Chains A and B, each alone.
Chain A
Amino acid sequence: DSGVTQTPKHLITATGQRVTLRCSPRSGDLSVYWYQQSLDQGLQFLIHYYNGEERAKGNILERFSAQQFPDLHSELNLSSLELGDSALYFCASSEGSRGSETQYFGPGTRLLVL
């Protein structure tokens, strides 16, 4: 158990809908990273938050947004969902802000868009 929790574990929704994925980091970790893993693209970095502030953006679509709250949990919002958004979404946490440190991964949320 990494200490990182993600909810829900599974999510089935329809095209055009909006969903919110939630991540709670390990106690004491200030950074949260979001990743998408699809069958055709593999793992991709989406976005990094540190202590409530956005630190870096990766391949995140404009239809997707994220935030990190004062209690350090983070939410990833996916809107106008398309079939191609079906994937595993992972969050990971770490202590600091500058990368180059071990990340602890949550169990992932499996999203299926029908």
Chain B
Amino acid sequence: KNEVEQSPQNLTAQEGEFITINCSYSVGISALHWLQQHPGGGIVSLFMLSSGKKKHGRLIATINIQEKHSSLHITASHPRDSAVYICAADNYGQNFVFGPGTRLSVLP
């Protein structure tokens, strides 16, 4: 079993749909990062969470420390949201373990 797992692996949605990407981890963490990787390869950090919930625009990230689970939600999805979304477990900067990524395609 991988230390950080994501589901689904691939996701296709229609523009406007509500999207949820899940991340489960088995390692100890100080924080959980959500990253977005565009088709060109560039990586952008979306959220860094150690507890609770964060919101930025149409994106919402939640984490449940007891259940070792985090979710990334996208409301009113748009084709420009098409990217690979990666979660990463951060252990005080001593180690980072990445999930395999979720490839999202949003169709117009």
**Is A43 engaged at the interface, CB distance under 8 Å to the other chain?**
yes
Tell whether, in the assembled complex, residue A98 and residue B93 are in contact, meaning their CB atoms are under 8 Å apart: yes
Of the candidates A88, A97, A98, which one forms a contact with B41 in the assembled complex, judged by CB atoms under 8 Å apart?
A88
Q: Is residue B7 contacting chain A, with contact meaning CB distance below 8 A?
A: no
* Cross-interface CB contact of A105 among B45, B92, B95, B98, cutoff 8 Å: B45
The answer to whether A58 and B95 have CB atoms under 8 Å apart is yes
A61, B44: Cα distance in complex, Å: 26
Closest to A1 in B: B42
The answer for the CA separation of A99 and B91 in the assembled complex, in Å, is: 7
Q: Which residues of A contact B94 (CB under 8 A)?
A: 48, 55-56, 99
| Contact of A31 with B93 at beta-carbon distance under 8 Å, contacts A42-B101, A100-B30 already known | yes
Query: Are the C-beta atoms of A99 and B93 separated by less than 8 Å?
Result: yes
User: Is the interface on chain A under 10, 10 to 19, 20 to 34, or 35 or more residues?
Assistant: 20 to 34
**CB-CB contacts below 8 Å: A40-97 with B:** 42-45, 48, 55-56, 58, 88, 90, 92, 97
Q: Is A107 an interface residue, CB under 8 A from the partner?
A: yes
**Residues of A with C-beta under 8 A to B90:** 99-100
**Per-residue A-contact encoding for B44-73, CB less than 8 Å = 1, 0 else:** 110010100000000000000000000000
Range class of the B interface residue count:
20 to 34
A42 touches B98 (CB 8 A): yes
Residue of A2, A33, A45, A90 with most chain B CB atoms under a 10 A cut-off: A45
Given contacts A56-B94, A100-B50, contact A43 B88 (CB under 8 A): yes
Q: Are B93 and A56 in contact (CB under 8 A)?
A: yes
Expressed in whole angstroms, the Cα–Cα distance for A48 and B93 within the complex equals 8
**What are 10 A-B contacts defined by CB distance under 8 Å?**
A42-B98, A42-B100, A43-B88, A48-B94, A55-B94, A97-B93, A101-B31, A102-B48, A105-B42, A105-B45
Which residues of B does A touch, CB under 8 Å?
30-31, 33, 35, 41-45, 48, 50, 86, 88, 90-101
